[in-house]
Amino acid sequence: MWERDEIEHERSLNDDFVTLELDESLSVGQSPFENFLIEGDNFDALRYLHIAYKGRVKCIYIDPPYNTGNKDFVFNDTFVEKDDGYRHSKWLEYMYRRLLLAKDLLADDGVIFVSIDDIENAHLALLMDQVFPGMRVGTFVWRRRSGANDSKDWFLSVDHEYVLCYANKDFTFAGTTKNLSSYSNPDGDDRGDWDSGDLNKAHNFKQRPEAFYPLHNPATDVYYACDPGSVWRFATKARLFNGKKIRTKPIEQMIEEKRVLWPNDDQFVIYQSVAEIEAAIRDGSAPKNLQMYLSMNDLKQQVANGQAPERLLSYIEPLDAWVGRKIGYGKPRYKRFAKELKRIEQPVSTWVLPSSMKKTDLEALDLSEVTTFEVGFTSEGTKLLSQILSNKDFAYPKPMSLIKALVGQATDSESGHIVMDFFAGSGTTGHAVLALNDEDNGNRSFVLVSSTEANKDEPAKNVCRDITAKRLRAAVEGYSYRAKTKTNKVGGLGGEFAYMRANRIPRETLAIDIRHDQIWFVLQQMHANSISPFKNETPIQILEGDEIGHDILYVPQLNQEAIDALRTRFDTTLKPCIVYSWQPGVVRQRFNESQMKVEKIPDYLIERFGRVDL
């Protein structure tokens, strides 16, 4: 817990209602707009977004201020300095309000990614555990730069950052499709293609004594000693005590189903006495796994010292039990059938690797069983943004490859997933969404929130307008940049976005000050995740329900013209509809339609508006 009681809260601001207004001059493309760039404080924007997006957002990515003390973080309109005694508490309070609102926006299969560095990583993880209880997925670690940059007096180069990941219960990463080329059916098995799997697992006989037993091939009568450093993967029926249940089949059933792959040559040896076995172990000619029998006295001492379980001694057969047996030298394996794979995708690794790594280096890491993100350094983001803006006015943007990798794994191309970033900065997340859609013909949409970052020293500063919007426009339409003596042209990715501004309205004057176009915007976002401009010339606004199953009608003023328009609508279609009106009682009285639902404005919006219990 942080010093919340000592921090001045924005209570009055929390009571204000928030609306959005459309700036068509800064918007790009044609309506209806499905992507949104919102200029304003993200605390305001998140409360507004509660009205339309609660429980609907598939993926949130944010790159919040890291609280370095270098004027990167504003709290209650003032920069927080390094020597501020409440510096960390103010940052936590700032993040807490916003994360609490963001949590409710996530869909049942939604996920949130948060970039952070070492300064606040530990604090943020604890805070997110509190805000998102039971939702921690993991932490990605990525290398943000190459080369060295020793830090202060410690001669330490801090080259990494983190991405914390929390998700609702139905979320899963997409992974990548496993390479099934190793699966085949050389023996014509009726069960289909199979691959040879390791019959041992990464536990030693002290850790899994029940899985330490000799394996017998009934067809050849050959026995195989268990590796004490890597016991068998499957349990034996002989050691399932007290009705113990296991998740996999016992080894006896695996043998019966002919799923154990015995060594082809089945080379074996037979010893006629214990002395002969001991001599073979000493000269190295005995099967390797028998060597442990020469150190039994050491094992007994470990049991006496509590370093190994006592029952292990009863599980190890005496050496004379191996006299007269056919003892195999090979290593049995087992059949893994392709049809029994739980998933045909490889899981995602928390290692984020530099895309500059050589192929030989990647192969040396042996990451064949996982999906790894291979992304650029921060310099990649800086280079791309400077090409678009022809300047370096925005410091340290994240590489687009990082955000593309995360969003690409969290969303798909067909489901119309909504991606949100309420610390949008230069707009990398929106750019990444457009790039993904261009690559896979996807229909993802984005909602970005970016502030002006104006302050007393730079009152005219507007990052949202001059950097975020400019970048997104370039991404949509294409851009040119100069490299040495050559001008390069980059084609547009297509798409569109609406540029909108967040405005506060005091609750007590809401009914007077809220505009009809602002109401119509939020109703469209609620029902269709898109907006078209308000039509002043029509008495009622209508959103056709081809995608949503019913029509949405907004009645700004219930005059005779509006009543006539409603009557015409009801006379020409029986399609169900929701009517939003300032006078719902009159609408119900005038039109007793069974397929009509009526909601009161602005009360309905107020009920859905986001608030934080400060």
Give the tens place of pLDDT for each residue, 286-344.
Answer: 999 998 887 888 888 888 888 888 888 888 888 999 999 999 999 999 998 888 866 65
Q: Are residues 336 and 359 in the same domain?
A: no
Q: Give the end of a domain, one of 340, 357, 390.
A: 340
SS in 3 state form for 44-90?
HHHHHHHHHHCCCEEEEEECCCCCCCCCCCEECCEECCCCCCCHHHH
- pLDDT value of residue 359: 63
pLDDT > 90 fraction of the chain, expressed in percent and rounded: 59
417 and 379 share one domain? yes
pLDDT reading at 476 higher than 80: yes
Domain-embedded: residue 7: no
Question: Domain check: are 170 and 22 in the same one?
Answer: yes
Count of domains for the chain: 3
Summarize pLDDT for 28-66 with one digit per residue, the tens: 999 999 999 999 999 999 999 999 999 999 999 999 988
Please, what sign has the CA dihedral across residues 289, 295, 300, 302?
Answer: negative
Q: What is the pLDDT of residues 406-455, one digit of tens each?
A: 999 999 998 999 999 999 999 999 999 999 999 999 999 999 999 998 88
Pick the more confident residue, 545 or 472: 472
Same domain, 305 and 444: no
233/322 same-domain check: yes
Residue 185 included in any domain: no
- Residue 128, pLDDT > 80, answer yes
pLDDT tens for residues 542-591? 998 765 578 999 999 999 999 999 999 999 888 899 999 999 999 999 99
Both 461 and 545 in one domain: the answer is no
**Domain shared by 396 and 333, yes or no:** no
Q: Are residues 333 and 349 in the same domain?
A: no
Whole-model pTM: value is 0.75
What phi and psi values does residue 51 have, to the nearest 5 degrees?
A: -65, -45
Task: Tell me the average pLDDT across 492-520.
Answer: 95
The DSSP line for 165-227 is EEE-TT-----EE---TT-B-TT--TT--EEEEESB-S--TTT-GGG---EEETTTTEEEPPB
What letter does residue 347 receive in the DSSP assignment? P
Look at 10 and 223; give whichever has higher pLDDT: 223
Question: CA-based Rg of the chain, rounded to a whole angstrom?
Answer: 33
Q: What integer is the mean pLDDT of 267-289? A: 93
Q: Which of 20, 89, 82, 84 has its CA nearest to residue 49?
A: 20
Which structural domain range is residue 428 located in?
A: 17-178+343-501
Q: Is the same domain home to 386 and 430?
A: yes
The band of 610, judged by pLDDT with boundaries at 50, 70 and 90, is: confident
| Burial (CB count <10 Å: 0-12, 13-18, 19+), residue 547 | exposed
pLDDT of residue 243: 58
Q: Structure tokens of 152?
A: 């202060």
- Rounded Cα distance between 451 and 469, Å, is 11
Clarify whether residues 379 and 514 are in a common domain.
Answer: no
Mean pLDDT within 185-204: 89
Residue with tokens 């609306």: 19
Residue type, 512: I
